[in-house]
């Protein structure tokens, strides 16, 4: 007997940035979480169930949204060697796919390849300029706190012309029948 789904997803998380790692198209989509919230609140996108192998009913529910419709969403291509090394497979557990997605995003961050929205301020004070600083940068105008990034493995997500579904899955409900994290 399927269990009821609980509110859990983009609207309950405390992230600033969301990344959808899409192995089928070998792309990573990045956008401010707020942009995803704004787009699903408009109500123009289908709400669909998601499933996990081995469970009789839906295990999640989310909106199918084309990446181009999400404000400030960028599509990133990362080197094929990284995708080949991680060897994403559809039949892997949700936990394993999620672990690999996090590793990929971590590799991108380490190489400076993940855009994080920033605000900058040109330094006008001559003494600071002389000491070697021309611009101050604040990540996402958060000032004195870390930037929180949510990583989702959206296996078949991404543009149709690359072989994806044409959408990203913006989850809003789920259950975890197998206790996987």
pLDDT digits (tens, 9 = 90+) for 52-93: 878 888 999 999 999 999 999 999 999 999 999 999 999 998
Measured CA to CA, the distance from residue 60 to residue 65 in angstroms comes to: 16
Q: Is residue 126 part of a domain?
A: no
Task: Quote the CA–CA distance of 18 and 70 in Å, as a whole number.
Answer: 11
For residue 60, tell me if it sits in a domain: yes
Buried b (16+ CB within 10 A) or exposed e, 9-18: bbeeeebbbb
Domain that holds residue 69: 6-116+146-174
What pLDDT score was predicted for residue 56? 87
| Coil/strand/helix, residue 20 | strand
pLDDT-derived band at 4 (thresholds 50, 70, 90) equals confident
Q: Bigger pLDDT: 99 or 55?
A: 99
pLDDT of residue 143: 59
| 122: in domain | no
Task: Decide: 82 and 45 in contact? Cβ < 8 Å.
Answer: no
3 state SS of 157:
coil
Residue 141 is assigned to a structural domain of this protein? no
In a domain, 138, yes or no: no
Number of domains in the chain: 1
Q: What is the mean pLDDT of residues 94-104?
A: 95
**For the residues 106-124, what does the mean pLDDT come to?**
87
Q: Is residue 77 part of a domain?
A: yes
Q: What is the pLDDT of residues 119-175, one digit of tens each?
A: 778 888 888 888 888 887 777 655 566 789 999 999 999 999 999 999 999 999 999
16 located within any domain: yes
133 is a domain residue: no
């Amino acid at each position: 007997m399927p269990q009821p789904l609980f509110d859990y997803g983009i609207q309950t998380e405390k992230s600033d940035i969301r990344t959808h790692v899409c192995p089928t198209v070998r792309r990573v989509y990045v956008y401010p979480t707020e942009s995803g919230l704004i787009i699903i609140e408009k109500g123009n996108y289908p709400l669909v169930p998601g499933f996990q192998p081995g469970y009789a009913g839906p295990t999640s529910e989310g909106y199918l949204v084309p990446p181009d419709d999400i404000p400030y969403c960028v599509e990133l291509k990362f080197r094929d060697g990284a995708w080949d090394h991680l060897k994403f497979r559809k039949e892997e557990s949700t936990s394993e796919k999620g672990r690999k997605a996090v590793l990929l995003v971590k590799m991108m961050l380490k190489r400076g390849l993940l855009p994080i929205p920033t605000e900058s301020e040109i330094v006008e004070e001559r003494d600071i300029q002389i000491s070697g600083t021309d611009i101050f940068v604040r990540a996402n105008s958060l000032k004195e706190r870390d930037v929180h990034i949510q990583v989702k493995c959206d296996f078949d997500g991404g543009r149709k012309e690359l072989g994806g579904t044409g959408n990203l899955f913006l989850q809003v409900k789920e259950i975890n029948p197998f206790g996987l994290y």
